[in-house]
Amino acid sequence: MLARDVVRFAFYLPHDHPEIAEGVSHAVEAYMRGVGQGPKTICHAFTNDDEGDALTEARWNYVRRLLSPDRPFRFIEELPEDIADRMEKRGYATRVLLDGGLRSRNGYEFHYQARIPWRTPSLDTVSLLFATLPTEYLHEHGPTKVRELALEMASQLRFASGHVGFALRLYWPLRRADESIRAELARHPGIDLRPAWFEEQHLGERVDGVHWLNFLGQPVLGEAGGAELLRSRLQSADATVHELDENRVMVSLGQGPEAGDLASGHDLPTYREFARVLEPWLEPLPLTDATGEQGNLHDAMGFTQEEVRRWSRRFLD
């Protein structure tokens, strides 16, 4: 399988692991309750840079210990030089990936990656929590259950931003001969292509676009004027602002996620309205020629830089 359309959950956490461990553990348990464990969903775990193993009870216990807030050190500067160098080279302090196994393409994944705990952290570096559901799950259980799962996962997370919506899970870079796939994807502005090419550990306090469910924390929520002002700026009947607490909201754009279809004129006007509200905080997409396992959209999708620019501004132009 080259690619799969999924419902993607993403949360960007500008904190070191000990500060968010409780919320992350709650999120993974909520996700597992929602999807279940087994050969058709989640049955395998990778931790840090190991080769992965079946998700037995012993493996689960290890994952839970890894996600606990307890650490023998607080900052990377406290570690021996060789261990610190290895951590810096791999680019994270802790990583957990739960999925269906090495050859699985079933659309169920949970990925957590804690940022390196520098004594003076970069404002652009965040810890990441991603999860996906196959779109078949949405069709079978309905958007209300997906929304409830998102709210439960988010309930204890100290996020700066996050989202839930349609996305492309790309397992291999597209070839030049895959022009029909690229053209089809470009027709549907509601399908997020960003996870097809890299993970946004350097997102910082910016927002990675507009989606079905949009989670906003501080400082963006405060800079946008808070929940009430945000609510007043959204005129679409399909847009609702749900307050999780005084520092976090979820903005919902419709009853369920939509792909849109530019060929038939369905350009998702509610998404476009919210994009105009969020424009000062939206993440600028990279337009480099970097290559490699985590290159950019130009590499993975075969888009030109102009196509990348148009795609990134698809709700603004």
Average pLDDT per run of 10 along the chain, which is 317 residues long? 92 96 98 96 94 94 95 94 95 95 93 96 93 97 98 98 94 80 90 72 90 97 96 96 97 98 96 97 66 49 80 92
Residue written as token pair 């996700």: 31
Residue 225 lies in a domain: yes
Q: For position 180, what pLDDT does the model report? A: 87
- Answer whether 10's CB lies under 8 Å from 163's CB: yes
Instruction: Name the token pair of 187.
Output: 């027709």
Residue 317 lies in a domain: no
Q: For position 286, what pLDDT does the model report? A: 57
Sheet holding 161-170, edge to edge: 53-54, 44-47, 94-99, 109-114, 127-134, 3-13, 161-170, 213-216, 248-253, 239-245
Q: For position 299, what pLDDT does the model report? A: 65
Residue 211 lies in a domain: yes
Task: Give the number of domains in the chain.
Answer: 1
Of 265, 162, 176, 268, the C-alpha closest to 205 is 162
Rounded Cα distance, 219 and 156, in Å: 17
Give how far Cα 28 sits from Cα of 54, 169, 286, Å: 17, 20, 30
Give the range of the structural domain holding residue 66, as residue numbers without chain letter: 3-312
Residue 85 lies in a domain: yes
Rounded Cα distance, 170 and 168, in Å: 6
Residue 250 lies in a domain: yes
Q: Which amino acid is at 37?
A: Q
Q: For position 265, what pLDDT does the model report? A: 95
| Residue 208 DSSP label | -
Residue 82 lies in a domain: yes
- pTM (predicted TM-score): 0.94
Residue 52 lies in a domain: yes
Q: For position 183, what pLDDT does the model report? A: 86
